[in-house]
């Protein structure tokens, strides 16, 4: 990295980062005036729901039914939610499904009240509520199986072979009623010869029931009215390609941690081999969940070697940082039809046991995958379980994006017929984990992609609700059209301590896990995980030219080494803002300190990037509205408009492109709304006609979410050309602000600094 390494500046929370009350909203919008005809059509739909559930109401008078409400395309924002129409007196909202879809609790009395409200409510709010609703309809068995008649047959065949069905019941937002429903569901299972085998708490709001089933029992089981979703139980496995011997000697590796202050990563995988001598001193502890006869530790050894020695084994491509100790969790059995695969409920149980057992371990690597592709309209259950564990235990999971194993593999740019074959799979859609994709670091004449292009096997995003996945990428190898990768794989240690190579997102993820552990270990005091994640994402570099869809492959880019993550340079200065924003208020820093050397003739120049990370409240009952808070940041200029009035202009991020109004879906798709990791970059090569800057941070909650304070970490980097005194000018501009340097441990300062810089 060119130039002297300088400390990142931290702006401490005080009055300089001003808190101002956010303006309130206006009157409720009426999308289309609810005429007599519109009201009559909705009333007919209410009656159709009542007719569809008449037998159920007689058979189960104590259990409400559930219906679907579909909203207009332009009525998705929280301010338009029809909560006057769909209230406790009528059919209250108990969950959210896919985009535009609400689940409502339905009783005979509630339907009667809803019918009357549609007919008579002439208030502005009532008319606005009615105008948002496009359709009300009952839920049938195919809805619960999320399948058509043809795919139900495939589910029946799979259940016949597996013997189990995975069930999620509706959460009626009433503990007493939920208990009644669960008991009725047990009775229902017994009546058709099935039984409830396991109930697993994935999150406080998500309980998964595993029931015994034959193929013929699938439809009868799924007919129960309280079932939200019936599906197959996912199986998880190590994302593996067999390691190849490199044929050269293993380089000299650290013998073992000199002190107990070395970074630690929890490795949940197939296990590190006892016969791998170089790794043995770095195993801090071991937990075994797989019988010895069912183990194959090759994959876990390879991943463990990259976490411990990635930079030593891959000089020049792995992020420089210190070696890491390992907590070795042997959870994944060998890939063998004679051995039972690790199912999702078992994995969740292991995670709930092992993560709290090691409270000092903050980074956990999961280089595993499944055959459950990510959906546009729902977060996977395992992803939601990981999110809950991260929040509950203040840990960070680092996940592999997953591999495309079946030919044809992807070229770059991708073939036009790839479709969804290369989409990320569960649990890579975890909203708060760091998901890592793979880049090629080497090539031969037969390789499918060039250096620094997405690996032919690396799965791509986006996640549900356009969440950016993967967030970052790292080197995980290259291959030809047949999957051959000799001389193009990343290097690690084999079962007996020999040097081997392999490819996969499995091997990109541990490079980021090791870097993340080093970042957490380097700072004094230890940083929040929001800040540690923000530092890595912020330092990542994207290709010089990015097409719109490239974000799905590269994420926010490839992170550099530890020194570059933790330092600024003379021509590139970074500010950290870490604070708490209160509901109803916005944070504002004005004037924002912009370096004087980048202001010429009243215009601002330079390159600016901004990264925001926060840990939002989450609720598994709310489908695509799973993320319950949105923190947004904007950096902009203040300059006079045509009438001479000073007006704020958002420069970073720019507003999503739109003709008249930013509809909710556009803000989600193009503006990272509800995404807890946001990163923006802009090259101001032509200048902006202002030298006055303002930074703003705002908080928004979902319409039915308890409003609570929200912590966030925000990084802003301003960069000039080589030789420009950006850093010195920023320090001068910060006079009068309460700042300090990002503090590193003494040993880390010596390790990451080039000779003579600190």
Give pLDDT tens digits for 602-620. 999 999 999 999 999 999 8
* Phi, psi (degrees; rounded to nearest 5) at 569: -130, 175
Asked if the model's pLDDT at residue 668 lies above 80, the reply is no
The CATH class that applies to domain 238-248+261-436+457-470+494-562 reads: alpha beta
In angstroms, rounded to a whole number, what is the distance separating the alpha carbons of residues 323 and 326?
A: 10
Asked if the model's pLDDT at residue 757 lies above 60, the reply is no
Average pLDDT over residues 310-335: 91
**Residue-level pLDDT at 372:** 80
HSE toward the beta carbon, residue 369, CA cutoff 13 A: 27
Asked if the model's pLDDT at residue 265 lies above 90, the reply is yes
Asked if the model's pLDDT at residue 418 lies above 70, the reply is yes
- Show the tokens assigned to 318: 């792995």
Asked if the model's pLDDT at residue 259 lies above 70, the reply is yes
Asked if the model's pLDDT at residue 497 lies above 60, the reply is yes
Which of 242-256, 561-575, 648-662 tops mean pLDDT?
Answer: 561-575
Average pLDDT over residues 297-326: 92
Average pLDDT over residues 260-289: 96
**Residue-level pLDDT at 3:** 63
Q: Which residue is listed with tokens 């702006």?
A: 11
* Phi, psi (degrees; rounded to nearest 5) at 162: -90, -40
In angstroms, rounded to a whole number, what is the distance separating the alpha carbons of residues 709 and 730?
A: 30
Percent of the chain scored above 90 by pLDDT?
78
Helix (H) or strand (E) segment spanning residue 230: strand 227-231
Asked if the model's pLDDT at residue 547 lies above 70, the reply is yes
**Residue-level pLDDT at 151:** 85
**Residue-level pLDDT at 758:** 31
Question: What is the pLDDT confidence band of residue 659, given thresholds at 50, 70 and 90?
Answer: very low
The mean of the pLDDT values for the chain is: 91
Asked if 718 and 661 count as a contact pair (C-beta separation under 8 A), the reply is no
The CATH T-level fold of domain 143-233 is Alpha-Beta Plaits (3.30.70)
> In 3-state terms, what secondary structure has residue 290?
coil
Asked if the model's pLDDT at residue 373 lies above 90, the reply is no
Question: What is the pLDDT confidence band of residue 16, given thresholds at 50, 70 and 90?
Answer: low
**Residue-level pLDDT at 642:** 80
* Higher pLDDT among residues 4 and 284, named by residue: 284
Residue of 694, 608, 595 lying closest to 18 (CA atoms): 694
In angstroms, rounded to a whole number, what is the distance separating the alpha carbons of residues 369 and 428?
A: 8
Question: What is the pLDDT confidence band of residue 667, given thresholds at 50, 70 and 90?
Answer: confident
Peptide bond into 653 cis (omega under 30): yes
Peptide bond into 427 cis (omega under 30): yes
- Show the tokens assigned to 531: 């800040």
pLDDT tens, residue by residue, 328-340: 999 999 988 888 8
* Higher pLDDT among residues 27 and 525, named by residue: 525
Average pLDDT over residues 215-233: 95
**Residue-level pLDDT at 79:** 74
Residue of 557, 755, 749 lying closest to 8 (CA atoms): 749
Give the torsion sign (CA, 478, 482, 487, 492). positive
The region that residue 623 occupies, defined by phi over 0 for left and psi between -120 and 50 for alpha, beta otherwise, is left
HSE toward the beta carbon, residue 609, CA cutoff 13 A: 20
Asked if the model's pLDDT at residue 25 lies above 60, the reply is no
Q: State the helix-helix crossing angle for 505-522 and 298-313, rounded to 10 degrees.
A: 60
Name the H helices within 253-380.
Answer: 298-313, 344-357
* Phi, psi (degrees; rounded to nearest 5) at 92: -70, 150
Residue of 265, 556, 289 lying closest to 397 (CA atoms): 265
Question: What is the pLDDT confidence band of residue 756, given thresholds at 50, 70 and 90?
Answer: very low
Asked if the model's pLDDT at residue 655 lies above 50, the reply is no
Of 459-463, 561-565, 584-588, least confident by mean pLDDT is 584-588
**Residue-level pLDDT at 570:** 97
**Residue-level pLDDT at 23:** 66
Angle at 726 between CA 725 and CA 731, to 5 degrees: 100
**Residue-level pLDDT at 749:** 59
**Residue-level pLDDT at 701:** 93
Average pLDDT over residues 668-693: 91
Peptide bond into 591 cis (omega under 30): yes
Average pLDDT over residues 383-407: 96
- Show the tokens assigned to 45: 């739909």
Average pLDDT over residues 542-559: 94
* Phi, psi (degrees; rounded to nearest 5) at 341: -70, 160
Percent of the chain scored above 70 by pLDDT?
94
pLDDT tens, residue by residue, 501-534: 999 999 999 999 999 999 999 999 999 999 999 9
CB atoms within 10 A of CB 547: 9
Question: What is the pLDDT confidence band of residue 78, given thresholds at 50, 70 and 90?
Answer: low
Asked if the model's pLDDT at residue 277 lies above 60, the reply is yes
Residue spans of the domains in the chain: they are 6-16+569-752, 36-139, 143-233, 238-248+261-436+457-470+494-562
Helix (H) or strand (E) segment spanning residue 715: strand 710-719
**Residue-level pLDDT at 187:** 97
Question: What is the pLDDT confidence band of residue 260, given thresholds at 50, 70 and 90?
Answer: confident
Contacts of 294 (CB under 8 A, 6+ apart): 333, 334, 336, 339, 340
Asked if the model's pLDDT at residue 660 lies above 50, the reply is no
Asked if 356 and 476 count as a contact pair (C-beta separation under 8 A), the reply is no
**Residue-level pLDDT at 525:** 93
Asked if the model's pLDDT at residue 754 lies above 50, the reply is no
In angstroms, rounded to a whole number, what is the distance separating the alpha carbons of residues 197 and 415?
A: 45
């Amino acid at each position: 990295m060119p130039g002297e390494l300088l400390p990142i500046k931290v702006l401490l929370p005080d009055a300089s980062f001003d808190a101002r009350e956010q303006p309130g909203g206006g009157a409720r919008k009426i999308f289309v005036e609810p005429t007599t005809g519109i009201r009559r059509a909705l009333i007919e739909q209410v009656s159709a729901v009542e007719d569809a559930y008449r037998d159920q109401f007689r058979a189960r008078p104590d259990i409400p039914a559930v219906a679907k409400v579909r909203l207009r395309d332009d009525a998705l924002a929280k301010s338009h939610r029809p909560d006057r129409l769909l209230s406790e007196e009528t059919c209250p909202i108990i969950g959210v499904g896919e985009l535009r879809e609400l689940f409502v609790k339905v009783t005979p009395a509630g339907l009667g009240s809803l019918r009357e409200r549609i007919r008579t409510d002439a208030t502005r709010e009532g008319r606005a509520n009615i105008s948002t609703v496009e359709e009300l309809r009952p839920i049938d068995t195919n809805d619960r199986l999320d399948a058509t008649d043809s795919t139900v047959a495939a589910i029946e065949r799979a259940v016949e072979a597996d013997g189990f069905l995975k069930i999620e019941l509706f959460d009626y937002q009433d503990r007493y009623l939920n208990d009644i429903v669960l008991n009725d569901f047990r009775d229902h299972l017994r009546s058709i010869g099935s039984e409830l085998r396991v109930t697993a708490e994935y999150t406080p709001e998500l309980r998964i029931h595993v029931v015994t089933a034959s193929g013929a029992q699938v439809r009868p089981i799924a007919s129960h009215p309280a079932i939200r979703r019936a599906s197959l139980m996912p199986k998880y496995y190590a994302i593996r390609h067999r390691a190849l011997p490199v044929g050269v000697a293993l380089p000299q590796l650290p013998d073992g941690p000199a002190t107990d202050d070395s970074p630690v990563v929890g490795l949940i995988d197939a296990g590190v081999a006892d016969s791998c001598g170089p790794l043995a001193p770095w195993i801090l502890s071991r937990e075994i969940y797989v019988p010895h006869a069912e183990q194959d530790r090759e994959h876990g050894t390879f991943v463990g070697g990259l976490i411990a020695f990635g930079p030593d084994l891959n000089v020049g491509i792995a992020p420089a940082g210190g070696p890491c100790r390992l907590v070795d969790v042997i959870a994944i059995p060998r890939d063998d039809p004679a051995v039972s695969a690790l199912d999702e409920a078992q994995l969740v149980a292991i995670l709930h046991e092992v993560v709290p057992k090691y409270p000092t371990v903050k980074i956990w690597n999961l280089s595993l995958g499944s055959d459950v592709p990510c959906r546009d309209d729902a977060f996977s259950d395992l992803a939601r379980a990981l999110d809950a564990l991260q929040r509950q235990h203040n840990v960070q999971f680092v996940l592999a994006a997953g591999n495309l194993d079946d030919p044809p593999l992807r070229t770059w740019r991708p073939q036009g017929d790839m479709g969804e074959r290369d989409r990320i799979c569960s649990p890579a859609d975890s909203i708060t984990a760091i998901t890592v994709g793979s880049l090629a670091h080497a090539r031969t004449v037969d390789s499918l992609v060039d250096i620094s292009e997405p690996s032919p096997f690396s799965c791509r995003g986006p996640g549900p609700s356009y969440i950016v996945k993967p967030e970052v990428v790292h080197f995980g190898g290259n291959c030809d059209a047949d999957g051959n990768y000799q001389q193009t794989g990343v290097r690690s240690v084999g079962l007996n301590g020999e040097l081997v190579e392999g490819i996969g997102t499995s091997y990109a993820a541990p490079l980021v896990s090791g870097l993340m552990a080093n970042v957490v270990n380097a700072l004094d005091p230890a940083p929040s995980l929001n800040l540690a994640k923000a530092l890595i994402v912020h330092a990542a570099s994207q290709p010089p030219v990015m097409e719109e869809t490239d974000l799905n492959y590269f994420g926010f880019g490839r992170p550099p080494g530890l020194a570059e993550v933790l330092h600024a340079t003379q021509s590139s200065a970074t500010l950290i803002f870490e604070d708490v924003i209160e509901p109803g208020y916005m944070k504002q820093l004005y004037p924002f300190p912009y370096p004087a050397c980048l202001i010429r003739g009243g215009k601002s120049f330079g390159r600016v990037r901004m990264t925001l990370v926060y840990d939002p409240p989450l609720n598994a009952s709310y489908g695509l509205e799973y993320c319950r808070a949105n923190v947004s940041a904007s950096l902009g200029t203040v300059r006079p408009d045509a009438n001479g009035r000073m007006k704020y202009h958002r420069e970073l991020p720019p507003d999503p492109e739109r003709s008249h109004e930013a509809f909710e879906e556009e803000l989600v798709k193009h503006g990272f709304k509800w995404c807890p990791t946001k990163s923006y970059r802009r090259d101001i090569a032509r200048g902006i006609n202002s030298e006055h800057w303002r930074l703003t941070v705002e908080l928004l909650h979902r319409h039915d979410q308890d409003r609570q304070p929200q912590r966030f970490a925000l990084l802003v980097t301003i960069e000039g050309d080589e030789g420009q005194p950006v850093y010195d000018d920023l320090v001068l501009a910060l006079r009068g602000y309460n700042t300090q340097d990002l503090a590193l441990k003494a040993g880390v300062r010596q390790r990451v600094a080039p000779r003579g810089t600190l």
